[in-house]
Amino acid sequence: MARMVGYFLVTLFLVSELSMVQPQPLGNVCLPVYIEFPYCLGFLWGLYKEPGGLCCETVKRLNLLAKQGLGAKYVCWCIENMTKCIAKTSPYRLNATRISELPKLCNTHLSFPISVAMDCSK
């Protein structure tokens, strides 16, 4: 329970920080990503051996959002900016190999790149 409260507080902090950094329209565009992606942080930080069900559902929803909503470039860009912000503000380090493992472990073929070296312009 304490861990979930901690994740919730980190998520609230990150969303508030990211919305202050982004111009308001882009902050609003990225809001679905900022709300959903933190479900994967426990796995990405190395706290869990596998991504949980909520994380995999998030990966699938973000993929759908990339295909039918925002577009792949925006979702990629939002994740890229969020991971940069997390790297600056979190006491945990994101595990680079785990980011690229998400699609495979969640049985999802993404329509956008997801790795430490993401190039969202493609």
Domains of the chain: 28-121 (1.10.110.10)
pTM (predicted TM-score):
0.70
At residue 24, does pLDDT exceed 50? no
- Cα separation, 114 vs 89, whole angstroms: 21
Q: Token digits for 75?
A: 């979702």
Read off the pLDDT of residues 51-103 as tens digits, 9 standing for 90 and up. 999 999 999 998 888 888 778 888 888 888 888 888 888 888 888 788 889 99
Burial of 41 (0-12, 13-18, 19+ CB in 10 A): buried
At residue 43, does pLDDT exceed 90? yes
* Other CB atoms within 10 A of residue 88 CB: 8
